[in-house]
Amino acid sequence: MMLMPVRTRLFTLRISSLLPSSSPPLPFALPFRSSFSHSAPTHHVSATKTPKISISDSAKFARTVLFIPPGTDPEEVTDDMILPGSNIVLGPYAGDAKVKEVEFMGSSVRPKDCPKDDRPEFAMLGRSNVGKSSLINSLVRKKEVALTSKKPGKTQLINHFLVNKSWYLVDLPGYGFANAPESARMDWSSFTKGYFLNRETLVGILLLVDASVPPKKIDLDCANWIGRNNIPMTIVFTKCDKTKNSKGQRVDENIKSFQELIKENYKIHPPWIMTSSATGLGRDELLLHMSQLRNYWDQ
Ligand SMILES: Nc1nc2c(ncn2[C@@H]2O[C@H](COP(=O)(O)OP(=O)(O)OP(=O)(O)O)[C@@H](O)[C@H]2O)c(=O)[nH]1
Ligand SMILES: [Mg+2]
C-alpha cells in the first residue's frame, strides 16, 4: 500500500482565541434552516456602515495586512511584489501559473468517492450563486467546463477538474441556499466534515465572497470555522465588476468591511484577492498565488 506523504501546510492560518463563542461549529450546516433562506432580507452584519473609501485608502489598508508567503522576508517586501487587487505578496515559490489543459474527471456524491491520487487540490467554497463555477471557467479560460446558472443551487455534487494533469480545482455545491433538494442538503452537512477535515491533498480552500453585497454573517461564520480548524484559506472576492449594487454600496466598501470583520479574529490576515469572472480581473494573479501555495505544498 502506498503511504500518503505528509505535506507541508504552513500556510495554515492561526485564528486567535477572540472568536465569539457563539459561532456555530459548522456554519455550512446552517443555511438549510429556513431563517437562512437566500431570500431573507436580514443577512447583513451590523458592522457594515464604514465610511466611503477611495482606492488609495484600500491600498494603504492592504499594506497593513499583507499575506507574506514562506521564503519571503517581510522587511524586504516591495510594492511590485504585491499582486494587484490583493494583499498577497508573491514569493519564491510562485511559478507554473499557465493553464494548458483542463479535464473534467467526474462527480462524487461522497468524499470517499473523490479521486484517490496524490495530486494537490483547491476547493471552491461559498454561498450559492457567488460564482464558484464561473470562477473555475474563468481560471481555465473555458466557457462551460463547470456548469453555471442564474438560479442558485446549480452545482450539486463534488466535481473534480484536473488542470495540466497535475492539480485539481474542485467545484462544490454552495451553502446558504434553502431550497436545495433534501438529498443534497443532507450530503452537504456530512460532506463538510468528511471532506475539509480529512482530505489530505487539500492545499487550501478558496472562500468566495460576493463583493457586490455587504458582508453576510454566514460567510463570516464560514471563514471563522475554516480558521478554527486550521485549514488554509484564500478569500476570493467575486463580482468585482459590479461597481454598485441597488443600494448604492460599492465593491470597495464591502471588501473593506469584510476584511475588518475578519481581522478581529485572525492573528495573521488571510490572503484575499479581488476577481471578476465577467472581465477576467484577478485571474492571472489568483493563478500565480495558487501556484505558490501548490509549489510550497508540493516541495
Ligand atoms: N457580473 C458578474 N456575474 C457573475 C460573476 N461570476 C458569476 N456571475 C454570475 O452569477 C451567477 C451564478 O454563477 P455560478 O458560477 O453558477 O455560481 P455558483 O457559486 O457556482 O452557484 P451554485 O452552483 O448554485 O452554488 C451566474 O449568473 C453568473 O453569470 C462575476 O464575476 N461578475
Ligand atoms: Mg456552481
User: pLDDT tens-digit profile of 110-124?
Assistant: 888 899 999 999 999
Q: In this structure, which ligand is nearest to the CA of 174? A: 1
Q: What is the pLDDT of residue 268?
A: 79
Q: Are 275 and 282 in contact (CB under 8 A)?
A: yes
- Say what the pLDDT of residue 87 is: 93
Q: Round to whole Å and give the CA distance between 144 and 138.
A: 9
Ligand closest to 129 (CA) is 1
With the most atoms of ligand 1 within 8 angstroms of its CB, the residue from 38, 125, 140, 148 to mutate is: 148
From the alpha carbon of 126, which atom of ligand 1 is closest?
19
If you measure from the C-alpha of residue 169 to the centroid of ligand 2, how many angstroms do you get, rounded to a whole number? 12
Buried b (16+ CB within 10 A) or exposed e, 12-37: ebebeeeeeeeeeeebbbbbbeeebe
User: With a 6 A CB cut-off, is 249 part of the ligand 1 pocket?
Assistant: no
Q: 7 alpha carbon to ligand 2 midpoint, in Å? A: 29
Residue of minimum CA distance from atom 16 in ligand 1: 148
Which residues of the chain are under the pLDDT cut of 50? 1-53, 55, 183, 186
What is the per-residue DSSP string for 87-126?
Answer: SBBP-TT--------EEEEEEESSGGGS--S---EEEEEE
Among all chains, which residue has been given the C-alpha cell 463570516? 220
Strands (E), the chain: 102-108, 121-126, 158-163, 167-171, 202-210, 233-238, 272-274
Q: Give the largest CA-CA distance in the chain.
A: 58
The C-alpha atoms of residue 180 and residue 184 are separated, in whole angstroms, by: 6
For ligand 1, atom 8: residue with the closest CA: 131
Take residue 234 and report the three cell numbers written for it. 484564500
Cβ–Cβ under 8 Å, residues 138 and 99: no
pLDDT at res. 190: 63
Supply the residue whose CA is at minimum distance from atom 13 of ligand 1: 131
Pull the grid cell for residue 202.
Answer: 487539500
